[in-house]
Amino acid sequence: MRLSQLLTNAHLSPVPALCDREITRIVCNSADAGKDTLFVCIRGFRIDGHDYASECYDRGCRAFLSERPLDLPPDCTVVRCDNTRRALAEVSHAFYGFPSEQLRVVGITGTKGKTSVAHILMKILNDNGIPAAVIGTTGVDSPCYRAETDNTTPESVDLARFLSELLARGVRVAILEVSSQALYLERVFGIRFYATCFTNLSPDHIGESEHPSFAHYLHCKRKLFTEYPARYAVFNAADPYFEAVSDGCLSETRTVGLNASDFFASECVSSLSDGLPGVSFVLRRGGKKIPAFLSMPGKFNVSNAVCAVALAETLGVPTEQSVLSLSHVSAPGRFELFRAENGALFVIDYAHNAVSIENVLRTLRSFCRKKLFCVVGSVGGRTTLRRAAIGKAVSTLCDEVILTSDHPDYEDPTAICEEIRAAFVWEIPCRIIEDRAEAIRFAAATARKGDVVLLAGKGHERYQLVRGEKRPFSERAVLEDCSKAAGPCS
């Protein structure tokens, strides 16, 4: 596409004919720059893309979007704009033909539950003949196409590319996990949402390179409903921050979670199906009482499931049909179960802050007949406020804790573990095993029949971040290699 046409389609300032040139790719990482690329200079928390313009020139790039003058040779085309983050989104969607206008895009935000709601909704829609895909924490996932992503919500240029690819493959509903960082950094700018959803809110992602305060975190979440007007919006009315987040919403709303809500669950009872834990409940909608069984245990997952059912209704799936899908739903790294040969139960879950860990541990208590273990750590380089809260949660609810690494990056993993242990409310058996694989092996060798072991924090992830390097690591693979772990429950 010619640069002039791209800028015109994106409603940006056109370039003189003498400066026009062919563009075959849009990039914001200097390592990706090359011949016929448009490099968009983005100011990040630690790195400013403007400082890498010369490097991009040396790689063959001659077209730039910038917020300030660039010291480059005269054979370059430099287009100035006020906000390159928004400009990146605008030119990306124009380059890929505005795919969100041809899809029904569902945006889900909240501190917890985004991935679960997204995958439950995808299951419901595909079961009912509506081709759907998820773009989120676990990557791009659909029956027809899969891809890895670096962030919960990809950068706007990658997001536009993924939406275009899904559209070409016949997908009709794209379910997008929308992180607070994505809203803060304009990654979803230019997306036309059909429906949006709020799951819940609790203090998290506050600190260096994230949000400066909880008020800022809440403000960014709220932006999905006030700055991106969708046709429908679904809110968890049981959350304490429901009114604060929904204030100013411009969409037709549906509520879930309370007796006065449009959708709410009652009579929740933990139960077993084929020997595996789940929860039975009654879904109430418009005077109807619909019995349901959810294969993902815990009341917090019931809330996620009801959000998905409400979203499915806005997309034309009757509630009675949606409920049929709930008995066989799952989400990668969310309450994944492994049964050891000796009868101990292992649970892999992405829970990585105190609220989510506490939710999972309380659910496991209802099934645990003997000792409840937790293997847990906390990421390095950010979210240090999580550590004390995690220590309080696990020491209150567990019988034994194994502290270990979880993306320590450039921090000392043992020091992170000591911070968690220093916040213990009760003195319970605890050991620090820095190597996460070794910690899992110790848990597998220690747990006995009737015990439950939660592996918290990594879930679906396939790597450990150590000193800036992503090292391959899979909790499932470690469990399967342990002599006492037979493999995933089925």
- Give the number of residues written for the chain: 490
CATH 3.40.140.10 fits 336-488, yes or no: no
According to CATH, what is the number of the domain 3-90?
3.40.1390.10
Q: Which of 208-217, 240-249, 297-306 has the highest mean pLDDT?
A: 240-249
Question: What confidence tens digit (pLDDT) does each residue in 308-344 have?
Answer: 999 999 999 999 999 999 988 888 888 888 888 778 8
Q: Where are the beta strands (DSSP E) in 213-361?
A: 232-236, 252-256, 263-273, 276-285, 288-294, 336-340, 345-349
Question: What confidence tens digit (pLDDT) does each residue in 139-154 have?
Answer: 999 988 999 888 889 9
Name residues whose C-beta falls within 8 Å of residue 135's C-beta, 6 or more positions apart in sequence.
141, 149, 153, 154, 159, 162, 163, 174, 175, 176, 177
Three-class SS state of 253: strand
Question: Could you state, in order of their start, the residue ranges of all structural domains in the chain?
Answer: 3-90, 99-328, 336-488
Confidence check: pLDDT of 486 > 60: no
Contact 439, 373 (CB under 8 A): no
Give the residue-averaged pLDDT of 144-173.
Answer: 93
Query: Is it true that 99-328 and 336-488 share their CATH fold?
Result: no
Q: What architecture (CATH level 2) is domain 99-328?
A: 3-Layer(aba) Sandwich (3.40)
Closest CA to 405 of 458, 329, 346: 458
Query: Left if phi > 0, otherwise alpha if psi is -120 to 50, otherwise beta: which for 436?
Result: alpha
Give the residue-averaged pLDDT of 184-201.
Answer: 95
Question: What confidence tens digit (pLDDT) does each residue in 97-115 have?
Answer: 999 999 999 999 999 999 9
What is the separation of C-alpha 44 from the centre of its chain, rounded to a whole number of angstroms? 21
